[in-house]
Amino acid sequence: MIEPDDERMRATVREQWTGPDRERVSDLVAREEPLELRIAGVPIAVVMRTPGHDLELARGFAITERIVESPAAITAVRHCDRVEDPDAEDNVVQIVLDPAVEVDLAKLRRNIFTTSSCGVCGKASIAAAMGSAPPVEATWTVPIDLLRALPDRLRAGQEVFSKTGGLHGAALFDRTGVLLEVREDVGRHNAVDKLVGWATQNVPWPLRDCVLVVSGRVSFEIVQKAVAARIAVIVAVSAPSSLAVEFAERSAVTLVGFTRGDRAGVYSCAWRVTAT
């Protein structure tokens, strides 16, 4: 059996059919496990994620779900070493906020529950979510050729996807096309949260001079998270949803979809995209 060299993968065996023939072969699959996020010892969300970069995920989640307005409100993020179930020790993270930050923990628990397939399932209402952040203020422009080149550069950085085929990817670039970082996860919104969490400690905040590139489609929650981080441009390999387009336009975010080869469709704030 293949032995994984990364905590984000697990070894397994599959029965492979090719025409009428079958054989048992070793395989690697992406891991998916729950991660409980706590504030002041109170569970606020359970995220079904791929292990790895958990503290970045927690930081990014706090920002993109607008639990806090800026990274400065987070004083520490750490794995809990005292949990009810010892087996869950690696799957519980405590977010420590500045004492001056006021958070309605009961409201958070009512309104947030996240799985690997959906990042907005627990919102009290989409209208409330869409009204949670002002438009992004960024007046710079970017050549279309630069944007069209970014998905291939994201794909080149997806190490675990190359071995399992089972993870979404997200990459952050600066406005000149310099790759800043790549993150992968079984959940597309988790990949974005990990990336944002990384950026809170490594990139000048807010991220209005950055481009977010995602490996699949763009739904509302991806745009919501980008807006919370003040990202001005989103590039996707696949399609956007109608609500993603609407929210991007309202939030002054340039949303580019179906970015493959020499093709790209600009769905909102097309003024940011230039021929040269």
pLDDT at 104: 84
Q: Indicate if 41 and 146 belong to the same structural domain.
A: no
Q: Indicate if 107 and 154 belong to the same structural domain.
A: no
Provide the annotated active-site residues. Answer: 118
Answer whether residue 16 is part of any domain. Answer: no
Number of domains into which the chain is organized: 2
Identify whether the C-beta of residue 92 lies closer than 8 Å to the C-beta of residue 113.
no
Place of tokens 């869950």: 88
Q: Indicate if 77 and 154 belong to the same structural domain.
A: no
Answer whether residue 18 is part of any domain. Answer: no
pLDDT digits (tens, 9 = 90+) for 136-182: 999 999 999 999 999 999 999 999 999 999 999 999 999 999 999 99
Instruction: Sort strands 33-39 and 42-49 into parallel, antiparallel or unpaired.
Output: antiparallel
Q: Indicate if 223 and 125 belong to the same structural domain.
A: no
pLDDT band at 122 (very low <50, low <70, confident <90, very high): very low
- Once rounded to an integer, what is the mean pLDDT over residues 270-276? 96
pLDDT digits (tens, 9 = 90+) for 216-252: 999 999 999 999 999 999 999 999 999 999 999 999 9
Answer whether residue 4 is part of any domain. Answer: no
Q: Indicate if 147 and 125 belong to the same structural domain.
A: no
Q: Indicate if 165 and 119 belong to the same structural domain.
A: no
DSSP 49-111: E-SSSHHHHHHHHHHHTTSSSSGGGEEEEEE-S--SSGGGGGGEEEEEEPTT----HHHHHHH
Q: Indicate if 264 and 146 belong to the same structural domain.
A: yes
Q: Indicate if 101 and 182 belong to the same structural domain.
A: no
| Domain carrying residue 156 | 142-274
pLDDT digits (tens, 9 = 90+) for 45-85: 999 999 999 999 999 999 999 999 999 999 999 998 776 66
Q: Indicate if 148 and 270 belong to the same structural domain.
A: yes
Closest CA to 33 of 66, 8, 56: 8
Tell me, what CATH number does 172's domain have?
3.40.140.10
Answer whether residue 224 is part of any domain. Answer: yes
Q: Indicate if 115 and 195 belong to the same structural domain.
A: no
